[in-house]
Structure 1
Amino acid sequence: MRKNLIASVAFLLASGTAVLADGASDGKVKIGILNDQSGVYADFGGKSSVEAAQMAVEDFGGKVLDSPIEIVDADHQNKPDIASNIARQWYDTEQVDAIMELTTSSVALAVQAIGKEKKKIDIVTGAATTDLTGKACSPYGFHWAYDTHALAVGTGGALVKQGGDSWFFLTADYAFGYSLEQQTSDFVKANGGNVIGSVRHPLASQDFSSFLLQAQSSGAKVVGLANAGLDTSNAIKQAAEFGITQGGQRLAALLFTLADVHGLGLEAAQGLTLTEGYYWNRDDESRAFGKKFFDRTGKMPNMIHAGTYSAVLQYLKAIQKAGTDDTDAVAKQLHEMPVDDVFGRGGTVGPNGRMIHDMYLLQVKKPDESKEAWDYFDVLATIPGKDAYIDPAKSGCDLVK
């Protein structure tokens, strides 16, 4: 009888383990949104990205594999050490299954390295460096909304074709800025242009006067702003005070989103050329999503918000299809499944984790051309995903055979 009892218990334990393996491992699926919620990129992503993630959960139905879905969030303050501590705590003690958004490239690289170590999925929508799917790629790391190469192809390519063949860069002094400057410089040179010089500024600079004077005295036709958020807005405002555009130079906002234009205002931003992966006023489907988002946040979504919605939704679809939240099984589905939602229409995921989708070259309207609130852009061109992103085979990722 004792032997039979032991055998029965062993069978039940084995059966129980099998059931758990085919569902959510701890009875729930927990997603962390880790980004800047109080600093220079707070409008860029911030709490609105958390709301976008929650929208995706609700649109999916609130459960996956009959298990509840929970969104948690935190502010990493644009500091890799703070982000790393949060990520480790989430993974080690709070049963977080995946981390997403990850504004700031240095933060995203740090958290992706932790995810690789701990076999946890991260999907980056807020950071831009191509290293995430290049030399720092991970079998569990995915890059969703945009990257520096796509921005360089879009904005940089448009201005070179329009005669902007000499450039001077104002560059944010961290990984994102370096990558954006390098990618754009390569593209400018490949198309017959040249880079006269560059200067680096600290993150969250208040005074751009010395940097702008160097750009002005360079005589470059285009001043490339390889920064983002309030840094870009402040640089544009102060450039107007120095009469840079009045003197014949053009400003290229290499990472500038709808939220930034709204904060700056059409009067100051009019005529700027920029690249985004999403525009709320492009068609009926994007307008419907934009209205839902606006009703919850009081603002229209940019590509970071819409990209976060898409990333969360695709992650949940991958769990559903895999029949488990096991990291390897879900990562396999994320690599194989097509992406088809309001953001990533016809998207595919490369072996390096790069989600390849169309980007849009946009120009900021003049104030009298805007027909309604948040109607800020004319769509100049659609950039096919195959042109916007680096071929995975040339990305430098050691996962690509």
Structure 2
Amino acid sequence: MIRQLFPISALLLGAAFLFFAGGINALILPVRGNMEGFSAFSLGLLGTGWAVGYVSACVVMPRFVSKVGHIRAFSVMAAFAAFAILSSLLVVSPFAWIPMRAVSGFCFAGAAMIVESWLGERADASSRGKIFGIYTMVTLAATTTGQMVLPLGDSAGFLFFVLGAMFYCLALVPTAVSSSASPNPLAKVSLDIKALWKNSPVAVFAVFMVGISNASFGTLAAVYADRIGLVLTSVALFTSIPILTGALVQVPVGHFSDKMDRRKVLLVIALTAIAVDLSFILIAPETELFNMILIGFFGASIFSMYPVIVAHANDHAAEGSFIQVSGGLLLVFGMGSIIGPLLSGVGMAHIGTAGLFMTSLGAHVLIVLYTIWRITRRAPVAEDEKVAYVSTPPARTSTPETAAMQVEDEG
């Protein structure tokens, strides 16, 4: 296995640099914005801007890369990502940060697609599944580490903006010095809502709601933690623990998902999320330990929904359409990600901190109600006709190339 990893070690290092910078970027903006007195609505718009840029890149990047090549395209993405985070340091205003966050989302998605395309090309068929698993672990660890470095310095200064820019630039090095030929063109996806809905209505509806919930939390979790009085170290833990618990439950969730109706698994997960939502709203925990326990359960639920939904949709999809279905659902998720931070920002501005989890609660309740109704309308897929469940990174950092890596593993 070490011999198989050696040829792609540079690419994995580049991915680690990219996601490390992304982790810093995602946390320093809401933390610093909250310190500067930005409204919850303005901070929510940061998440909306990110989602707009991210979804745009998933659609636009294949054509851009085909024109200028992988290395040049990656160089442009790294340069503009560094430019965006440094611009946010120079102009501390939501009017500047929101469009710059959209630029960051576009560049991050574009760069991730290129790295994933390169990894998929370099990994042979026998090791592709292991490579994808290692890549997932690298990105999760790098993102978490990027968030956890914030307590080590002064968030009111320039350190973390510069550090994020430095690691965006370092991510460029492995692709720039690679001697291998450029990989195949990037995976192209188009959004055909009618076809997706015909394939699986519950998948389209649920993934849109998960986009609302997950993007709301991803954007405003740090603001929530700060406003309930947690210190910066605890704020970083509050945003990192859910990612880790979400990764840990992938295996057991996948096991049950393959053995029973995936919609029922989705129901159980959504009901767990509702219980946590209500705990944050009604109990309003004050102790650090109680908050960390609850947010761990919250992450385990919200970050395990997406792969179950994708697997359910592919159970009903025609053979050979995995990328189209998974990529289309990713774009629907992105549409929800545009709306979610906006709703939770308004909620926190008018209701207070509970507004964040009230947005999630509404999304999760709707998932439960619609899924129950669909269970009564359509029989489950037979176990021997199901596709294999594949653990997936958080959808907010997945791209069409992530789906391409998965489907190639199945081949």
Q: TM-score if structure 2 supplies the norm length? A: 0.25
Higher helix share: 2
Report the structure number with the largest CA radius of gyration.
Answer: 1
Ranked by relative contact order (alpha carbons within 8 Å, sequence separation 6 or more), the top structure is: 2
Higher strand share: 1
